[in-house]
Chain A
Amino acid sequence: MTMTEKILAAHAGKQEVKPGELINARVDMVLGNDITAPVAIKEFAKIGVEKVFDPERIALVPDHFTPNKDIKSAEQAKMLREFAKKYGIVYYFEVGRMGIEHCLLPEQGLVGPGELVIGADSHTCTYGALGAFSTGVGSTDMAAGMALGEVWLKVPPSIRFQYYGSLPPWVGGKDLILYTIGQIGVDGALYSAMEFTGEAVTALTMDDRFTMANMAIEAGAKNGIFLVDEKTLAYIEGRFKRSYKKYQSDPEAEYAQEYEFDVSRLEPQVALPHLPENARPVSEVAGIRIDQAVIGSCTNGRIKDLREAAKVLKGQKVHSEVRLIVLPGTQEIYMQALQEGLVEVFVEAGGVVSTPTCGPCLGGHMGILARGEKAVSTTNRNFVGRMGHPESEVYLAGPAVAAASAVKGRITHPGEVLDK
């Protein structure tokens, strides 16, 4: 079996599962946010149970339209707050003590290796970086999960991605995943598990692995998953309190497909509007004028991302016609960025630093684009209208390219700012 199949089998109380099989699996954590949980809370009420399956295994994170952008959003966030109080939900995170859900849960030690996590947010696949099976579901699934502690799942076939070579400077997890989606397309891993292996991903930091697993959904995947190694264990040390389990795929495990990529000459990648599969080497698209640069999100709002952006921006000024918006992923990351002097670098450069929020990534608030405007963004989607007006454009990239582009006012290789 593959590691994904092993985790699913263990949670379904079975010796073995096969791709295509429908199972009922026990969940270790159920997640919802201020957009999806209100629908789940209404559905939960219809089930008619008096309590949730386990108040310590539900996380409610108001992160999308918070700090509340308008009255309706405030009402939605209030529903989470009141539900958490009524049912004694332990992991409700209030503004000021929260973060973007997929940066926050691993940081707070709420997800760990070998676990099965469902979240009413498509980027729940992020926790696969920790060697967990983690997948996005809908609000009704979340409601059923909160009541039963179970979820119905179809066992996905696995696709193995092996990355060889050592990564060139300025190339990281974001570039690997954009390149991969560029190769296989936005439905290239539809319904499947993406298993990321090879020396190039072993060499990645945990923050880079979170970025890669985060975007598995952009290839249509059910989950993305990494082996548990010493970096994973170092990351969960002192955070994750439950017992964990390391799984690895059997040598004879069956894969629906296998891809091998030599990434030793990979350039930083940029995905052109309006699909993440439109990945190009930055040199091919350099020069496209931008109005806004966004650095943050559940994809690239972690400390390594902010350090990388600050490295490019230190001593530089944001181009006069560009707005730079930096969103640290959590309060803890924000504090760390403050202590390391990164926030000073961003502000000195002429950027704004926001409280943690999904905000502009989904065109919610804190940086909406007008008609015809272009943004380079470290977020995960560049669909029509994703960051604002349907005639605006989003170019997806890693933090170094976003920072360099903010300085030059056009899509730029970071080496052009820093190495010269």
Chain B
Amino acid sequence: MMIKGKTWRFGDDVDTDLIIPARYLNTSDPKELATHCMEDAEPEFARKVRPGDIIVAGNNFGCGSSREHAPLAIKAAGVSCVIAVTFARIFYRNAVNIGLPILESEAAAKEIKEGEELEINLEKGRIINVTTGKVYQAAPFPGFMRELISAGGLIPYVRSRLSR
């Protein structure tokens, strides 16, 4: 799958309260959550983000709560992929489980600037910075996770396992 979009930059330790504050967790509707996505970090984000846009961040993206509302809000906001140096572990598995593409690449996460345009080949984990011409290779997913991702997430995977 190919992804194309403009980047939004965030720093290290972007926590789940920044991604979607708990005061909005009295709903689980992804569309409603998306209207508050990244609100306390960048109040204009939800209004200005365009379908296909890409989030680029530092270490430990998504730390804190287990709320799946965080990757759901990002996905429903139209974000096509999150690139970071590292992800917090629950966010990582939530993203894989719900089918939000994420990539770990230290060089890409450090060098790519806000507003640059990227082209990403998800299967290959290849990130092309169209603005600068630089190419990055993200860390590959382990085999089982590739299965999960290609099944479309954990629920389709479980369904196919149960029907076998």
Listed in ascending order, the chain A residues whose CB lies under 8 Å from chain B are 22, 35-36, 38-39, 42-43, 46-49, 64-65, 69-70, 72-73, 76, 119-122, 124, 136-141, 143-144, 147-148, 152, 154, 186-187, 190-191, 217, 220, 222, 275, 362-364, 381, 383-386, 390
Contacts and interface: CB of A to CB of B under 8 A. Distances in A.
B25 interface: yes
Contacts of A137: 66, 90, 93
A177 to B, nearest CB: 16
Given A39-B69, A136-B90, 9 more contacts: A22-B142, A38-B28, A46-B159, A138-B66, A141-B154, A144-B154, A148-B162, A190-B88, A363-B21
A152 B144 contact: yes
A122 B65 contact: yes
A144 B64 contact: no
B67 A35 contact: yes
21 contacts: A36-B67, A38-B28, A43-B155, A65-B26, A69-B26, A70-B26, A76-B27, A136-B66, A137-B93, A138-B93, A140-B154, A140-B155, A144-B154, A144-B155, A144-B158, A148-B162, A190-B86, A220-B89, A362-B17, A381-B15, A384-B15
B72 to A, nearest CB: 8
Contacts of A386: 17, 22
Given A383-B15, A383-B18, A386-B17, A47 B144 contact: no
Contact of B64 (A70, A122, A222): A122
A231 to B, nearest CB: 28
Nearest to A364: B22
Contacts of A362: 17, 22, 25, 65
Contacts of B137: none
A101 to B, nearest CB: 12
B3 interface: no
B153 interface: yes
A187 B86 contact: yes
B68 interface: yes
Contacts of A47: 155, 158-159, 162
A26 B44 CA distance: 44
Interface of B: 13, 15, 17-18, 21-23, 25-28, 40-41, 59-60, 63-69, 72, 86, 88-90, 93-94, 97-98, 142-145, 148, 153-155, 158-159, 161-162
A46 B60 contact: no
A222 B93 CA distance: 12
B64 A148 contact: no
Given A140-B94, A141-B154, A275-B13, A385 B68 contact: no
B67 A141 contact: no
Nearest to A380: B64
Nearest first, the 10 A-B pairs at minimum CB distance are A138-B94, A72-B26, A187-B60, A362-B22, A140-B97, A138-B68, A122-B66, A139-B68, A390-B40, A136-B66
Nearest to A221: B89
B89 A191 contact: yes
Contacts of A49: 162
A166 B138 CA distance: 47
Given A121-B66, A139-B68, A144-B158, A381 B28 contact: no
B28 A42 contact: yes
A384 B94 CA distance: 22
A39 B21 contact: no
Nearest to A33: B66
Nearest to B43: A390
A140 B68 contact: yes
B133 to A, nearest CB: 31
Given A138-B90, A190-B86, A36 B23 contact: no
A140 B154 CA distance: 7
A22, A35, A191, most chain B CB atoms within 10 A = A35
Contacts of A139: 68, 94
A142 to B, nearest CB: 9
A140 to B, nearest CB: 4
A144 B155 CA distance: 7
A190 to B, nearest CB: 6
A65 B13 CA distance: 26
Given A36-B67, A140-B97, A148 B145 contact: no
A144 B161 CA distance: 11
Contact of A147 (B59, B144, B158): B158
A190 B60 CA distance: 8
Contacts of A121: 65-66
A139 B63 CA distance: 16
A49, A76, A144, A364, most chain B CB atoms within 10 A = A144
B40 A35 contact: no
Contacts of A22: 142-145
Contacts of A363: 17, 21-23
A383 B66 contact: no
Nearest to B22: A362
Nearest to B153: A140
B52 to A, nearest CB: 24
A401 to B, nearest CB: 23
B98 A140 contact: yes
A143 B145 CA distance: 18
